[in-house]
Amino acid sequence: MAEPSLDIRQPLLDSLLAGLIALVVFGPIVGVVLDGYSFHLESSRVAWIVGAVMLGRFLLSLFLHSAGGRGWLQRLEGGGAGVQVLPPEHRSHLRWLLPLVLLAAVVFPFFAGKYLLTVVILGLIYVLLGLGLNIVVGLAGLLDLGYVAFYAIGAYGLALGYEYLGLGFWSVLPLAALMAALAGALLGFPVLRMHGDYLAIVTLGFGEIIRLVLNNWLSFTGGPNGMSVPAPTFLGLEFGRRARDGGVPFHEFFGIAYNPNLKFLFIYVVLLLTVLLVLYVKGRLVRMPIGRAWEALREDEIACRAMGLNHVLVKLSAFMLGASTAGLAGVFFASYQGFVNPTSFTFFESALILAIVVLGGMGSTLGVVLAAFMLTVAPELLRSFADYRVLLFGMLMVLMMIWRPRGLIRISRRGFARRPGVAP
């Protein structure tokens, strides 16, 4: 355009076109009202709707043609374009936000009811799962469609460990992480030499195998009936109104009134601490050689091998660490539900966790935390839409792929201050 002034013709044309389409769409639906066997025309309603559409479209195109609108559009489209490297002296604005979020997390249980507490616990469990899968998919670039298997190993680890070995929450927590990592290694070592699609299919199969075994090994896992899980304890103190075997329950020991939410409060606190720990470890990992190796492997496996990295071991470490995080999440899930059965570990669950990672932006920690809450807490709060959950979910994914294929949060890489180059 030669002159900087607004060009009014294009918005007018746009609005005319939109009006025409609105007329075709709404005319028969809104304008023709059946009345017994005859009908009458409601032209004023149609006129209102078409008018509103035309005005809206006109204003929208006017805005998008103005300088401000163009800039906004560019930002929207450019924002998802890729990765940026931050300047070395960059300090994130989020460091002001972090203490506030922590404070909110600490005071939250004092005001929340049991329902809200359980919803947030579920959200935090998915944060844990998302962070774990983010290592595998987001950082190392290995498509794992059977991630839920490791989650199941953690959950059933607690149930089976209690049933057959008499283990409790605290002893299973580290054991489950170890067991899941071991399962990851056993699955990973033979299959990690494969590439993208093959790996996805093998992991998908692994997830289903674990679920089918849990479902069909009636004598060991209780099959579809599931198994009960013990409530967690704190230094051996139980959270029920009465302790079994003549012990002293938590509230009597500390001389406070009995609160039926105590068990969930306890899970919330331990879970929150675990999530913070995992967040910290994740933050360190991406600055460590192993994290850099994962990302390099995602970028170019052949170049990695030429740099002396053993690609199988690098992949295996990502797989194992991701799996152990899922194992932890499984233990929390089992004690939160007080019961486990195989229906909690279907492929849909794997897909949901993968969606969290994709939505959050591959490799972005903050994005994963936000997405985990969006995809788990929002459906709980919008219970009336429960039937449409999967539909909404699918639409969200399609929109994301169009507008923000790289995820909600733009990935930024750390910049380094200049060092004097010293001869080797």
Partner 1 sequence: MSDGEILRVERLSMRFGGIRALHDVSLGVKCHSITALIGPNGAGKTTLFNCLTGFYRASGGRILFEARGRSTDVLQVLGGPFRAGDFLSPRRFASRLWYKLFGGTHLVNRAGLARTFQNIRLFREMSVLENLLVAQHLWVERGLLAGILNTRGFRRAEEQALEHAFYWLEAVDLVDCANRLAGELSYGQQRRLEIARAMCTRPQLLCLDEPAAGLNPAETAALSRIIRTLRDAHEVTVLLIEHDMGLVMGISDHILVLDHGELIAEGPPAAIRHDPKVIAAYLGADEEELA
Binding residues vs partner 1 (CB under 8 A): 82-88, 281, 284-285, 287-290, 292-293, 295-296, 299-300, 302-313, 413-416, 418-424
Q: To the nearest whole angstrom, how small is the minimum distance from the Cβ of residue 143 to partner 1?
A: 17
As a whole number of angstroms, the distance between CA 51 and CA 22 comes to 9
Q: To the nearest whole angstrom, how small is the minimum distance from the Cβ of residue 322 to partner 1?
A: 14
> What does the block give as tokens for 339?
């019961």
Q: Between 68 and 87, whose beta carbon lies closer to partner 1?
A: 87
Q: Between 31 and 141, whose beta carbon lies closer to partner 1?
A: 141
Q: Which amino acid is at 310?
A: N
As a whole number of angstroms, the distance between CA 279 and CA 147 comes to 19
Pairing type for strands 32-35 and 227-228 reads unpaired
Q: To the nearest whole angstrom, how small is the minimum distance from the Cβ of residue 298 to partner 1?
A: 8
Q: Between 189 and 339, whose beta carbon lies closer to partner 1?
A: 189
Helix (H) or strand (E) holding 228: strand 227-228
> What does the block give as tokens for 354?
């993968």
CA angle 91, 132, 147 (to 5 degrees): 155
Q: Between 4 and 421, whose beta carbon lies closer to partner 1?
A: 421
Helices then strands, counting H and E runs in the chain, come out as: 17, 6
Q: Which residues are bridge partners to 34 per DSSP?
A: 39
Q: To the nearest whole angstrom, how small is the minimum distance from the Cβ of residue 154 to partner 1?
A: 20
Q: To the nearest whole angstrom, how small is the minimum distance from the Cβ of residue 367 to partner 1?
A: 16
> What secondary structure letter does DSSP report for 410?
P
Q: To the nearest whole angstrom, how small is the minimum distance from the Cβ of residue 70 to partner 1?
A: 24
- The string of DSSP codes covering 3-36 is S-S---HHHHHHHHHHHHHHHHHHIIIIIEEEET
Q: Between 224 and 415, whose beta carbon lies closer to partner 1?
A: 415
Q: Between 77 and 299, whose beta carbon lies closer to partner 1?
A: 299
Q: To the nearest whole angstrom, how small is the minimum distance from the Cβ of residue 53 to partner 1?
A: 42
CB 135 within 8 A of CB 321: yes
**Exposure of 29 by Cβ count < 10 A (0-12 exposed, 13-18 middle, 19+ buried)?**
exposed
Q: Between 263 and 298, whose beta carbon lies closer to partner 1?
A: 298
